[in-house]
Amino acid sequence: MSLSGKGKAASAALAVALLTGACGGSAASDDDAPYDPDAPVTLTVGLFGTFGFQEAGLYDEYMDLHPNVTIKETSVEKSADYYRALQTRLAAGSGLEDVQGIEIGFVSDIVQNHADAFADFGQAENADEVRETFYDWKYEQAMTEDGRVVGLGTDAGPQAMCFRRDLFEAAGLPTDREELGELWSDWEGYLDVGRRYQDSPTKPAGSAFVDSPASVFSAAVYQGELAYNDEDGNPAPESSDGVENAWEHASEAAAEDLTAGLSQFGDEWNSAFANGAFATIACPAWMLGYITSQVGEDGAGKWDIAPLPGQGGNWGGSWLGVPESSDDKEAAMALVEWLTAPEQQIKMFTREAHFPSSSEAAEDPEVADATSEYFSGAPIGQIFGESAENIRRTPIGRYDTQIQEAFTTALTNVATQGVSPDEAFEDAMASVEQVTGG
């Protein structure tokens, strides 16, 4: 449909609006006055439910520092809902907030397809200094090939392996986190511990070793040279060492019934936490809050944290970007830079338990020496810090979330429907083709 068609429809719509007495919206003024850092300004921040700046009091702090700034946050709980709205707004080229949250699941879509719609943090005067404070992989994931930086990192999701001390003890397994870390220095070792758990006559009835095959797959896949994409960020799961390795171990776990066969984030999965239905789960730093909330206070001291099999890995994390269409781009960029600076990332960790994506913040004693009482005194700062250090910079792509879903659902079928791993792999590849094919 041509522009004129749209215009005609729009004016007809306007006529209807007048006809029915609805009032039109206020027209935006976008005159290009030079940036005045002290002029009163209202910044709108559009996020989904994973940030917690408001809760950590960072907006108030910023507004105290900059009395001319008013910050208004709008938040959507589910990132899928948020992303749908964001995409619609990007497609229509309007309706964006001054700051937009960008999750890892869609940062690569933004980088590949909408980079021009976002202000370039790489052009800032102190860009190099800022870059220094972040983990390399984090900074680079929001960077286009020609060096445009669409956003700055907020939190990261370095992974470890959470385990139930009480269930391990009942099954006669070691509960020392370092000993376990050595036992499962790789995924084969992890599965061996799983088999011991499975065969134990004293383990609590009905409990499984790991929540889901996805726990193994999603953690292991990013430990390869490649995960779901080739070097250029195009989907190529069929030729990825990460996928091959992750599939091998995850399908083994599923076929041998080491898993509880749950779908992650489903209702049953949520309930399974409180019912002690599984003994381990691969846990990004943010999962600790999830576990605490699902298990409740009774779970204090039952859970513990050991290093992730293989090496470090990342799951989740976000960025903040500033749309070019923002009326107060400079002010918004200043806010983003402040919110993602090491000092604030430390506060986000101590107040909201979001692990820093800034290496400088992660090395700060407040973070590095942190322990968690709920998780049996585990040195979370150290464990997750080491995991973050070891994260590989695998190329990410716009379909990572969907491709991962294709694999993990196929694995669920291995675990619960008795589908053979080979057949499941074919199903997964068919789904992947459906996802990526035009």
Residues 111-170 that bind another protein (CB under 8 A): 113-114
Distance, in Å, from the CA atom of 396 to the CA atom of 222, rounded to the nearest integer, reads 10
Taking the least distance from each CB to another protein, the nearer of 189 and 204 is 204
Q: Among candidates 376, 307, 313, 315, which has minimal Cα distance to 167? A: 376
Q: What angle do CA 272, 275, 279 make, to 5 degrees?
A: 75
Strand ranges for 52-116 from DSSP E = 69-76, 99-103
Residues 196-255 that bind another protein (CB under 8 A): none
For residue 366, the minimal CB distance to another protein (Å) is 19
Q: Is residue 165 within 8 Å of 374, Cβ to Cβ?
A: no
Residues 27-46 that bind another protein (CB under 8 A): 27-28, 44, 46
Q: Is residue 135 within 8 Å of 391, Cβ to Cβ?
A: yes
Site string for another protein, 285-324 (x = CB under 8 A): -xx-xx-xxxxx-xx----------------x--------
Taking the least distance from each CB to another protein, the nearer of 114 and 249 is 114
Query: What Rg value do the Cα atoms of the chain yield, rounded?
Result: 24
Size of the site for another protein (CB under 8 A): 103
Q: Is residue 385 within 8 Å of 356, Cβ to Cβ?
A: no
Given candidates 188, 268, 366, 369, which one binds another protein under the rule CB under 8 A? 268
Q: Is residue 340 within 8 Å of 320, Cβ to Cβ?
A: yes
Given candidates 135, 349, 399, 407, which one binds another protein under the rule CB under 8 A? 399
Given candidates 100, 212, 251, 413, which one binds another protein under the rule CB under 8 A? 413
Look-up of token digits 């997964």: 428
Look-up of token digits 């041998």: 256
Site string for another protein, 40-79 (x = CB under 8 A): ----x-x--xxxx-xx----------------xxxxxxx-
Find all residues with CB under 8 Å of 209, minimum gap 6, and list them: 193, 194, 197, 198, 253, 258, 259, 278, 279, 280
For residue 42, the minimal CB distance to another protein (Å) is 11
Stretch binding another protein (CB under 8 A), from 30-38, 82-90, 241-249, 302-310? 82-90
Given candidates 87, 198, 200, 311, which one binds another protein under the rule CB under 8 A? 87
Residues 328-357 that bind another protein (CB under 8 A): 352-354
Given candidates 277, 333, 336, 383, which one binds another protein under the rule CB under 8 A? 277
Distance, in Å, from the CA atom of 41 to the CA atom of 335, rounded to the nearest integer, reads 12
Q: What does residue 93 show for φ and ψ, rounded to 5 degrees?
A: 65, 35
For residue 350, the minimal CB distance to another protein (Å) is 14
Given candidates 34, 65, 67, 91, which one binds another protein under the rule CB under 8 A? 91
Contact status: 18 vs another protein (CB under 8 A): no
Taking the least distance from each CB to another protein, the nearer of 151 and 316 is 316
